Each structure stands twice: as structure tokens, then as C-alpha cells.
Amino acid sequence: MKNRNLVFGGIVLAAGAVCAIAGICVSADNTQLYILLEVIAAALILLGITPLVRAYQNRKDRGETGTDRFHAYADRLKDYYGQAAGNQPSDSRNGFVPPNGWVLAEIVGITRNLRGSGNERVEYYVICRYYDGVTRTNQTFTSKALKDYPGKEIIGKKVKVIFHSKNPEDYTVDLDSIQ
């Protein structure tokens, strides 16, 4: 029964497409016929696509679509690596669990402290971003305050972010490691 509905929907959808093409072909000669054919084509396309959409929705509800399988696989990887390392996802940073050691992050910008009064020295900060494939999120890290402007040529380069513990907030951006 399901396959018959899909075949019927495909045939009706194709008939709607043919009707739309025919309407375009006669549009220069007869406007009324064009409008009639386009309305019929719209109805046929809507009627023909309905069983296809229902079939896709049923597959999605059962978890048989490609993206659902991908996300299920990514969740299994996240669970496996989180348990294998003895990590429990932290509530901060969207479940990001820092690995042992360090990661390479891309420098995305340089900012300065704008809160100081006119007499205070200006401090600069390097902003870098790391994409975590496990949680599928971008993590942003900020360097310690710098006295001198590091130069815009470092933007786009890679830098090490060193983690001192399993707390994702306990890190250092190692500016000596810019690649």
C-alpha cells in the first residue's frame, strides 16, 4: 500500500510538472489557457508531493534519515570519548570537555580594553576560536592582557590553547606558539 501511494504520488507530481511546462509553452498565445494550466499544475504538484512528504516524515520519525543517523553516531562518539577519558561534560561552554594537554585554535581577532580611563595604559587581547567536533560547537578563548599591539598579521594563524585542568575555563593562550 505504501509503495503504491509513493508511485501514485510520483506519477501525479510528474503530471503536474508536465502541465506546468505546457502552460509555459502556451503562455505567449493564450493567457487564459496559461492560467488554467498553471492552476492545475499547482494542484497536481501539491497532490503528488503529499505522499512523498508523508513517507519522508515517517522515515524521519523512525530515525532512518541520513542526518538523524549522523547525529546519533556523533552522540555515540561523544559518549564514548567522554567516558573513555573519565570526563563528565561540563555545564559551561556547551558541554565542551577540554582534552588532556592542548588544542590548536585559529586567531580571529584582536581587541583592546575600552573600559579604562584616558590615563590608563591600553591592554590588548587576542581572541581565538576552536571548533569542537564532538559537541559541534565553536569555543572562543581570550589571551591574557598584552601591553603591545600584536599586529593584525596574526589573524588567521593557529595558536595553542593549553588546558591546566578538566575545567574548560582554566586555560592559557600560548602566543609564543603562533604558527
The amino acid at 124: Y
C-alpha 4/C-alpha 16 separation (Å) is 18
Task: State the cell numbers at 103.
Answer: 588544542
Render pLDDT for 72-94 as a digit per residue (tens, 0 to 9): 655 665 555 544 444 444 444 55
Cβ pair 156, 136 in contact under 8 A: no
Q: Name, in order, each residue with C-beta under 8 angstroms of 122's C-beta and a sequence gap of 6 or more.
A: 112, 113, 116
- Band (pLDDT 50/70/90 cuts) for residue 35 is confident
Render pLDDT for 95-118 as a digit per residue (tens, 0 to 9): 676 777 888 899 988 888 766 556
C-alpha 163/C-alpha 93 separation (Å) is 14
- What is the share, in percent, of the chain residues with pLDDT greater than 90? 5
Task: Identify which has the larger pLDDT, 124 or 96.
Answer: 124
Render pLDDT for 156-176 as a digit per residue (tens, 0 to 9): 999 999 888 877 788 899 988
pTM: predicted TM-score of the whole model, two decimal places: 0.46
pLDDT in the model for residue 83: 43
Average pLDDT over residues 116-136: 78
pLDDT in the model for residue 42: 86
pLDDT in the model for residue 85: 42
Task: State the cell numbers at 46.
Answer: 501539491
pLDDT in the model for residue 177: 85
pLDDT in the model for residue 79: 57
pLDDT in the model for residue 158: 92
Is residue 5 over pLDDT 80?
Answer: no
Average pLDDT over residues 59-80: 60
Q: Where are the domains positioned within the chain?
A: 2-64, 92-177
pLDDT in the model for residue 64: 60
